[in-house]
Structure 1
C-alpha cells in the first residue's frame, strides 16, 4: 500500500463514485458537511422489507479523500442493515482517530491508513459513512412509524 495521502487508488476511487443520482422518493436522507474543508455529502436511501438498503443515491461535493470514501461506501452499501452501517461508521472513525488498529470489515477502508496522522482530513473521509448511517436510521424510523 502506498504511504502517499493522495495515491493512485484514492484518485481512481474519487473518479468513479457509484450511485451519483439522488433518489426520487427516498425513505431517508442525510446531508453531512465538514466544517474544516467545506466538503458535503448528501445520501438518500430506500429500505427493503427486511430493513436493508435497497437503493442508494448520493451527491458528493468533497475533496479526493471524501470522494474516495463515498465511492467505497456506495460500492458496498446495498444490502446492508442499519447496524452494519453504524459499525462501519464507528470503526472508520476509531481507525482514523488511532483508537483502533484496523478499519473494520468494510472493504477498502485500509486505504485511508496514510490519512491517520492528518486529523484535518478525517471529517471529509467520515462524511459518506456518517450520512448513510443517518439516512438509514431516518428511513427505519419512517418505515416503522
Structure 2
C-alpha cells in the first residue's frame, strides 16, 4: 500500500467516524426547567448549539443540547455529550483548550475522557469549521457559569 492510498483510507475512516458521531448525538434535545440555557451561534457558518444544564456540587447533573450544525459540529457535540454529565467546569474548560490547540496549533488530542475528539483531527485543515467544532464546548461553559451564578445568588 502506498503512502497516498494509506492516507486516503485514513481519511475515509475518519469520515465514517465523523458521520457516525454526528448521527448519534447523546443528550439531544432540551431539558424542562434547566438551571441554565445558552444558545451560541458561529458567525462564520451559522451553526447553532443550545445547551441546557443543571449543576449539582459544581458538576453537570443534567445536560441536553440542541445542535444545528455541520457534520463536524455535530460530531463535536456528540463527543462532548457522551462525557458531559458528572464533569466540572475545569474539566470542560481544559478539554476545550486542548481541542482548540489540537485544531489550531497541531496540539495533542484532548485527554481522557475526551479522546473521542481524535475523530476530528482531519478538521485541522478546515479552519472555517473550527468555530462550529468548538461551539458545544463554549455553550456548555457559558451555561455552567450561568448555573453557578444562579446557584450563588440563591444561597445568599
Is TM-score (shorter-chain normalized) higher than 0.5? yes
Between 98-107 and 79-88, the greater mean CA deviation after superposition: 98-107
Question: Is structure 2 residue 36 aligned with structure 1 residue 18?
Answer: no
Question: Is structure 2 residue 99 aligned with structure 1 residue 84?
Answer: no
Which protein has greater RCO, CA pairs closer than 8 Å, 6+ apart? 1
* Moved beyond 2 Å, runs of 4+: 1-6, 99-105
Structure 1 residue corresponding to 2:35, chosen from 27, 31, 55 = 27
Change (3 A) 1:93 1:131: same
Structure 2 residue corresponding to 1:134, chosen from 139, 142, 149 = 142
Q: Is the 8 A contact 2:109 2:118 kept in 1?
A: yes
Q: Is the 8 A contact 2:39 2:50 kept in 1?
A: yes
Larger Rg: 2
Distance 2:19 2:46 in 1: 19
SS of match in other structure, 2:101: helix
More helix by share: 2
Q: Structure 1 unaligned runs (5+)?
A: none
Match runs of 1:1-145 below 5 Å: 2-4=10-12, 7-48=15-56, 50-98=57-105, 100-105=107-112, 106-145=114-153
